[in-house]
Structure 1
Amino acid sequence: MAKRLNEAGLADLPASVRRPDYDRSRIATGIVHLGVGAFHRAHQAVYTDDVLSRDPRWGIVAASLRSSDTSDALEPQDGLYTLSVRSSAGEALRVIGSISRIIVAPQALEDLLGIMADANTRIVSLTVTEKGYCHDPATGALNEGHPDIVHDLANPQRPKSAPGLIVEALRRRRSAGVPPFTVLTCDNLPSNGRTVKRVLARYAECIDPDLGRWVESDVACPSTMVDRIVPATTDEDRARISERLGATDAWPVVTEPFTQWVIEDNFPQGRPAWEEAGAEFVADVEPYEHMKLRLLNGSHSTLAYLGYLAGYETVAEAMADPAYERLIQGLMDEEVTPTLHMPPGADLTSYKRALIERFKNPALKHRTWQIAMDGSQKLPQRLLGTVRDRLRANASIHRLALGVAAWMRYVTGINETGVPIDVRDPMASHLRILADRADDSPERLASELFAVREIFGDDLPADPRFTRTVTAALSRLYANGAKRTVAEFPSTTD
């Protein structure tokens, strides 16, 4: 198909395809987004697209911090791409136009920093995944030994990392007398606004103590909770969507109907009216963040490791197994829900019911392998925080421990049939060394991995209630395999 999706061809798209209802030539840049991946394009960019017809000041310039893949795909399309919303009822297509430009940071660093330092840019948002913050997941503090941070502290005007980019742009604004932009993190970090403020302030302090104090006192970092399932786009998705468009879209995004965005309303330089697109502004995001991290993300990670080990390629396939659905329902009801403290009116029962249905959506091919990535960064937020709360309450952690044990089995890099696993994790090589040292002994493997302080901290390895329960679960996985272990798991553990 020779014709490419682009601005000139919007009028030729089928009537069933929704397209921007505003003049893109009138859009100004108000937001710089770092980490232009599929999730941003299926979530924040869509909320922004919804409000640009009423307020054109909030167009997005997006930046890839490493690869040029997204830029290469979307630049010939004038930044346009298709959002595919899939459910058992069918597929709805919509072209999103809120991203006016994509910059590849290593190729145009000064250009990117110049836009971030410009007074018209009032928000810098991020979806760089947990590992992109160069922090210690166990403590939330800046990892000052991270290679990118070491580089950036030595070369602060030529940064590689997200913290380095943000602080250099803030430094330039401060020098020019321009008020700081708001830093809006949309990643799954505990208390994500406070975490990113801590990381940025410490990094800035390492460069200049006065700059660090200014970042701490003057830069707004509202917390957020984001929720939408966005699988990786496949070649089949590209072919199907391009056929329906009658034009080639090199990188559409596929998602589910459900979407949620809860935001702390702290934007000193202004913000889009995202509430008109369905976002919810609240005084305290933390209860919603815990709800999502522990119920959705914790369940997702548990499903990913146990499902992958059992040979289930997607979450929907794993959830079609009644034993897996029973395990996840029990995890939510018995071990996670008692740790949540929601504001009046929050309906956890309905949220959990919706989660089960979302996980079972056969139209979403959300691969267990994709969710399993970067587990060393995800476990502290998704499972271990809940574990700590349960242990403080002297309550059972058997399902949580099984999820942790499944991660341990997964990161050995060899599956249950002896086939290598492509483990994608910033600590993959170190974890593999520890696994090799254990020599297929679940007891030794658990002991070696408990010693990884960046994941488990100092407290959990010292608590026999945690170590014994995880080690026992890991031994069952080695002896019986994931599928049988889940099948034989008791329906209640309290």
Structure 2
Amino acid sequence: MRLSRRALAAVPEAARPRLGPAGLRTGLVHLGIGAFHRAHQAVYTEDAGDPAFGVCGVTMRSMAAAELLGPQDHLYSVLERDGEHASIRVIGVLTEVVGPETGIIRIADPAVRVITMTVTEPGYRHDPATGRLRASDPEVAADLAGRPPLTAVGRLVAGLRARRAADAGPVTVMSCDNLVGGGRLLAGLVAEHCRLGREEDLLAWIGSNVAFPSSMVDRIVPAATAADRAAASRLLGVADRAALATEPFRQWVIEDSFAAGRPPWEQAGAVVVGDVAPYETMKLRLLNGVHSLLGHLGVLAGLGTVDEAVARPDLAEVARRYLEYDAAPTVGPPPGVDLAAYRVRLLSRLANPALRHPLAQIAADGTHKLPQRLLPVIRARLARGAEPRWAALGVAAWMRCVSAGHADDGAPLPVTDPAAERLRMPQAPPAQVVDRLLGLLGRDLPDSGELRALLVDWLARLAADGALATVRAAVCEQPRP
């Protein structure tokens, strides 16, 4: 029997939805109904318990999610794993999953008061170095020329345009992606899209009726596997083709700036604050930064998952040194947060063997991820006259991955990045690779002779000796005090 409303009677009572379908109404539209949203914000929204905030999920690239969830009455399970321990629950907060055209109509519904987004960093189609919309991007240009929008910002603007025309009232738009100042960034991209499209009246309406709070999200949600779905089905007693696997840890910090009400997320454990920035900085530089460091070194070494990387003593030691010596000194801890304990728990989370988070997924889209994660650490360390040794190793490992196009054993490494064609330099010497790629990450970075020398040295070592030997030698060269 496949999971559905009728099949819930066969599901253990403790695993049934906490927000049932009776009385559930759509009050929230989510753009990008992927695994992360369903295992994170949707769980918080269900636990908040307000039936006026059922979630309409909007697909962005294909209708696969709708085809998967529709036959299950939009029910799915979240399997939490930590080592040998596992628990499961069914989430029932989704009211429907629709395509982008219908999503635009839903945004114009007066009952909808919140719009959230998880479209990944590249999905915003902006220049990470400037925060500006890439107007020269062919898809952005086509949206601005008047075709039915295909980009995330174009579809959001179309939805807000329809909402204004329907006189549907104020609404809040919240990015839930790993972006610095996501609310400000998204507000700026929307404003720029309106200006380029000569929609000044719409921009004025948005300025008076739309709030753009920032948020920080944290939960490791790898792509679900057949083994995950099989485990979920065993625990549920029914088949769930949309099951997700994740870790027990979750965190959501939300800026308290809403235009028309919101679910009581704080009742579900979210932290609502006046300023998200300290939490955002901590998470991006520590968790996401060490993720990128291990991701690129791991794929070069031919490893498959992040727990395999953390299980290597030398890689684990480099991760600890990055966190302690490079990242932590650049972070002002949020109120009540013990950074030392945060670092220890972080590495424990990455070592969770039940998740098997693919390194290739972590290492994708470096031109968008590194400017948010490793480069702020590098800039802060250089500004203090300190050497960003381990953060630079992460950047050099990225340069090696994308320029060479193969792992240390010669296996090909497909490059998943919006700038992939500009990154391949298989025969170029280290200095040439650094000179070309450094400017793609930040326009100010090529001016730092110290950073350039550090990157050239790391890249030469990685090319000559491979990731594991380079890390092993580096750890021996500078023993921990």
TM-score normalised by L of structure 2: 0.96
- Aligned residue for 2:195? 205
- Aligned residue for 2:236? 245
1:349-395 superposed Cα distances (whole Å, 9 cap, x missing partner):
11111101101111111111111111111010011111111111121
1:431-475 superposed Cα distances (whole Å, 9 cap, x missing partner):
22xx14xx14222222221243xxx22210121111111111111
- Aligned residue for 2:438? 450
Structure 2 counterpart SS, 1:232? coil
RMSD: 1.6
Quote how far apart the aligned CAs of 1:8 are. 0.6
Matched, 1:190 2:180: yes
Distance 1:418 1:312 in 2: 13
- Aligned residue for 1:90? 85
Question: Does structure 2 retain, via aligned residues, the 8 Å contact 1:202–1:212?
Answer: no
Q: How does 1:19-418 map to 2 (within 5 A)?
A: 19-52=16-49, 55-105=50-100, 109=101, 111-155=102-146, 158-207=148-197, 208-411=199-402, 412-418=404-410
Structure 1 counterpart SS, 2:454? helix
1:445 aligned partner, one-letter code: V
Greater mean alpha carbon deviation, residues 216-225 or residues 74-83: 216-225
1:238 aligned partner, one-letter code: R
Distance 1:367 1:23 in 2: 34
TM-score normalised by L of structure 1: 0.93
Distance 2:19 2:191 in 1: 38
Greater mean alpha carbon deviation, residues 406-415 or residues 166-175: 166-175
Distance 1:21 1:379 in 2: 38
1:45 aligned partner, one-letter code: A
Structure 2 unmatched ranges of 5 or more: none
* Matched residue count: 477
Percent of aligned pairs sharing the same letter: 45
Question: Does structure 1 retain, via aligned residues, the 8 Å contact 2:253–2:270?
Answer: yes
Distance 2:27 2:310 in 1: 41
Structure 1 counterpart SS, 2:22? helix
Question: Does structure 2 retain, via aligned residues, the 8 Å contact 1:450–1:461?
Answer: yes
Runs of 4+ aligned structure 1 residues displaced above 4 Å come to 491-494
* Residues 462 and 186 of structure 1: CA distance in aligned 2, closer, same or farther (over 3 Å): same
Greater mean alpha carbon deviation, residues 457-466 or residues 182-191: 457-466
1:482 aligned partner, one-letter code: A
Distance 1:288 1:492 in 2: 31
- Aligned residue for 1:10? 8
1:92 aligned partner, one-letter code: S
1:204 aligned partner, one-letter code: C
Matched, 1:466 2:451: yes
Distance 2:347 2:437 in 1: 31
Structure 2 counterpart SS, 1:489? helix
Quote how far apart the aligned CAs of 1:145 are. 1.2
Greater mean alpha carbon deviation, residues 57-66 or residues 458-467: 458-467
Quote how far apart the aligned CAs of 1:143 are. 1.1
Quote how far apart the aligned CAs of 1:245 are. 2.2
1:18 aligned partner, one-letter code: A
Greater mean alpha carbon deviation, residues 17-26 or residues 375-384: 17-26
Question: Does structure 2 retain, via aligned residues, the 8 Å contact 1:149–1:164?
Answer: yes
Distance 2:322 2:196 in 1: 42
1:78-103 superposed Cα distances (whole Å, 9 cap, x missing partner):
11111000002411011111111111
Distance 1:421 1:119 in 2: 48
- Aligned residue for 2:411? 419
Distance 2:448 2:292 in 1: 23
